[in-house]
Structure 1
Amino acid sequence: MTKTLRKTVQAKWRNLKPVGERVPGTRFIAFKVPLKGTLSQRLPLTQKFTPKDLINGIKEQNEELGLVIDLTNTTRYYEKKDLPRNVQYKKLFTVGLELPDDATILKFKRLVRKFIWENANNDKLIGVHCTTGINRTGYMICR
């Protein structure tokens, strides 16, 4: 594995399950950050996880993704254009390894409320991710 890829993709990321399951009683699903083709091509097939793999993983659960809230503090992993057109994408730059500030939490809540209001007639999911889909993601979903 190249030095650049090791910096871009944490060892912890490579060993995590890519997509969780719907949080019971909610519209939320957590997942680790998918990687655009140029980054994922450098990984072994068993560790590859692209935006297409994300969509397929959610479809395998008989669910439909309607919104992705990206909490990573960078744009290097993938781009909005890597997602299907019918999936909304919102970026909230959120610093890792510290609690999100009140403004970020408020923006997150507003995005969620707006999506649920606009999608009251369906059951589409809100996908949330940081780099690993654990710390920032779990915190924001619980908030």
Structure 2
Amino acid sequence: MLFRGSSAPSEQAVETLRWLDYKSVGRKLPGTRFIAFKVPLKQSSEVFGLWELLESVQKQRLDLGLIIDLTFTTRYYSIQDVPESLLFVKIFTAGHEVPGDDTILSFKRAVRTFLRENANNEQLIGVHCTHGLNRTGYLICRYLIDVDGMDPKEAVDLFNSSRGHAVERQNYLHDLLRGPKRSNDGMDESEQEPIRGLASHRPSDIISEPREERWPPSRDSHQH
């Protein structure tokens, strides 16, 4: 692992290194249109970016259509980095705490809008937070429980087995397994139009630079 500068990494940077411990992309959740992954980084990081994400999904013989970004920052990548084949929705979601009803409704609306407009294809909805685990797992499971009527334990088990990692935060698990269902009122209303990515080609196709494995940006690292 290479670090810039001679000083030891900060505590926050060390926490961010946990990003490397998680699988980049999980498997499609069977019977759903969801797939979960950790945050892709800007292409300059050369670790796991948006083009690597596309390749990974395509290797599973699947087609990704929408990215829902749940990180509580815009630091990791911008719409200019998103391939133009993908739609993008940003839902700022704070880490550690159980998402509020407004955030849950925003997620449901984004999913319902995409499914309604893509009923004639099998394009997937990709969801990520920092590690693609806790916020991501909570909101996917919340949707499966509230909207699809799935048993809470079945939903959590399905997410964990498909992601390849288990949801860690006990307050999220407690709310999913024992908490009340959330209202679906208003979820069929459009809230924000997905934005189409602006990247027409992979940057490394134009400029080839020596690869250096770097740790990702530190902000938001503790909110996985």
Compute the TM-score of the two structures, normalised by the length of structure 2. 0.58
CA distance in 2, matches of 1:27, 1:124: 7
The alignment covers a number of residue pairs equal to: 135
The within-5 A match list for 1:60-139 is 60-139=59-138
Residue identity (%): 53
What amino acid is the match of 1:134? Answer: L
CA distance in 2, matches of 1:105, 1:81: 27
Question: What is the CA-CA distance between 1:73 and the residue it aligns to?
Answer: 0.2
* Candidates 13, 16, 20, aligned match of 2:19: 13
Per-residue CA deviation, residues 72-128 of structure 1 (Å, 9 max, x unaligned), is 000111112212212100000000111111000000000000000000000000000
The within-5 A match list for 1:39-78 is 40-41=45-46, 48-78=47-77
Q: Which residue of 1 aligns with 2:31?
A: 25
What amino acid is the match of 2:120? Answer: N
Q: Over the residues paired in the alignment, what is the CA RMSD in angstroms?
A: 1.6
Compute the TM-score of the two structures, normalised by the length of structure 1. 0.89
**Structure 1 portions without partners, runs of 5+:** 42-47
CA distance in 2, matches of 1:124, 1:117: 12
SS in 1 for 2:88: strand
SS in 2 for 1:10: helix
- Which stretches of structure 1, 4 residues or more, deviate above 4 A after TM superposition? none
What amino acid is the match of 2:25? Answer: V
